[in-house]
Amino acid sequence: MTIKIAILAGDGIGPETIGQAVKVLEVLRDQHGLGLELEHAPVGGSAYDQAGTPLPESTLALARQADCILLGAVGGPKWDTLERNVRPEKALLQLRAELGLFSNLRPAMLFPQLASASTLRAEVVAGLDLMIVRELTGGIYFGKPRGIRSLDDGQRQGYDTLLYSESEIERIARVGFDIARKRDRRLCSVDKANVLETSVLWREIVSHVGKQYPDVTLSHMYVDNAAMQLVRAPKQFDVIVTDNMFGDILSDAAAMLTGSIGMLPSASLDASGKGMYEPIHGSAPDIAGQDIANPLATILSVAMLLRYTANQAELASLVDRAIARVLDDGLRTADIYTGTGRKVGTREMGEAVVSALKSVS
Ligand code: NAD
């Protein structure tokens, strides 16, 4: 099987980190038998500069036709004053909507070698490996009616609507259970069923879907408790499934447990497993073009792509092991450098992963 990947490098450090990820893919093709077709297209601010839109038709067509997308990052001060509908970030929202990417996978994992980079004690976070599955296209961020209205007493009132249908809950629950099956078979559904009606329905539907996954242990937790548990004892979690807003907040909190956004990948998937893979960090304009950005989040996005779209779990763990080897060897980009080991740039880190890939088995 050949996997076709649309490579959208984007802006800022995007092209630098994507360049290293592409090298990794090429080694997997040349030395590990991965069937691969790569096609590049512009997105974000650089696409706006070329074509007057952050998501040109040709880029969208390629994204539709490819098996998945590997995206660098978009945005930067150069485009901050543009109208909202042509801002670089608009391209991401449009891609998610056009491709029906309703589930967002946000792993928080901490290589033991980097435990000292976390603000939490090393024993609390070393070896952390949890996955947050966030519903991405529904809930309070999209519910209508919404707006700011004037009240009779003259003051204004803001309002939003939180809506979840049974089918929306069921499909994200299935993603959670399916992913738990590929991991430690424990799923924690996070809601606020003691206060919100949508959460009462959420809990009922998730429990119902759970009957079809007897091999996965399902638990439920209120979101306020989940926030506390994430910072108290994060290693208790395997997979968390939750709604759009709770997932937005909890996934950023979980990301910070690991100490560096330069190490964290993400995926947004549709119902068939097609997806967009990208690091969680932005385009980091402050360090762009200096060969100091950490490329590992983007390379770990390649590992996710191999696991969740290409169904190549072995190649995915090969990439994980290559990264572990490089960290064992003491190589650190500036963002994860804590005074020991050797500080390296973007390119040298990418090349080290490539050469580790050639030797790990
Ligand atoms: P950012 O993630 O780009 O940067 C935050 C901080 O982390 C910066 O100090 C940066 O230097 C550092 N950093 C980020 N990635 C790093 C890496 N790989 N290695 C080392 N250090 C890294 O967030 P920001 O500064 O808030 O946003 C910058 C631009 O990126 C904005 O235009 C924003 O809209 C955009 N953005 C894009 C995405 C995306 O493309 N998915 C996500 C977030 C922000």
Question: Domains along the chain?
Answer: 1-101+265-361 (3.40.718.10), 119-258 (3.40.718.10)
Whether 115 has a pLDDT exceeding 90, the answer reads no
d(CA 275, CA 267): 7
Beta carbons of 104 and 214 less than 8 angstroms apart? no
How high is the pLDDT of residue 116? 84
Provide the percentage of residues in the chain whose pLDDT is more than 90.
Answer: 91
Beta strands 186-191 and 156-159, pairing class? unpaired
Whether 30 shows a pLDDT value over 70: the answer reads yes
CA-nearest of 69, 28, 103, 108 to 309 is: 69
Q: Give pLDDT tens digits for 196-226.
A: 999 999 999 999 999 999 999 999 999 999 9
Question: Closest ligand 1 atom, CA of 10?
Answer: 40
When pLDDT is averaged across residues 35-60 and rounded to a whole number, the result is 98
Question: Among residues 145, 135, 143, which one has the least CA distance to residue 169?
Answer: 135
Tell me, yes or no, if the pTM score tops 0.85. yes
For residues 43-48, average pLDDT: 98
Atom of ligand 1 nearest to the CA of 17: 18
pLDDT at 295 over 90: yes
Instruction: Say whether pLDDT at 360 is over 80.
Output: no
pLDDT at 361 over 80: no
- How much is the average pLDDT of 262-288? 95
109: Cα within 13 Å, side-chain hemisphere: 20
Which residues are identified as catalytic? Answer: 141, 192, 224, 248, 252
**Separation of 264 CA from ligand 1 center, angstroms?**
12
Distance CA(304)–CA(89), nearest Å, equals 22
Residue nearest atom 27 in ligand 1 by C-alpha distance: 282
| Over residues 148-166, mean pLDDT | 98
Return the bridge partners of 135, or none: 103
Band (112; pLDDT cuts 50, 70, 90): confident
Q: What count of other Cβ atoms lies within 10 Å of the Cβ of residue 64? A: 13
Note whether 74 and 45 are within 8 A (CB). Answer: yes
pLDDT at 261: 87
Q: Average pLDDT for residues 19-45, to the nearest whole number? A: 97
Query: pLDDT > 70: what percent of the chain?
Result: 100
Q: Work out the mean pLDDT of the chain and round it to a whole number.
A: 96
The response to whether residue 16 sits with its C-beta less than 6 Å from ligand 1 reads no
Angle between helices 88-98 and 57-65 (to 10 degrees): 40
For the Cβ of 89 lying below 6 angstroms from any atom of ligand 1, the answer is yes
State whether the beta carbon of 294 lies less than 6 angstroms from ligand 1.
yes
Higher pLDDT, residue 315 or 93: 315
What's the distance, CA 325 to chain centroid?
23
335 lines ligand 1 (CB under 6 A): yes
Write phi, then psi, for 91 (nearest 5 degrees).
-60, -40
Reduced to 3 states, what is the DSSP secondary structure of residue 166? helix
E-state strands within the chain: 2-10, 35-40, 68-73, 103-109, 129-135, 147-150, 156-159, 186-191, 217-222, 239-242, 265-269, 275-279, 331-332, 342-343
| Contact (Cβ atoms closer than 8 angstroms) between residue 240 and residue 130 | yes
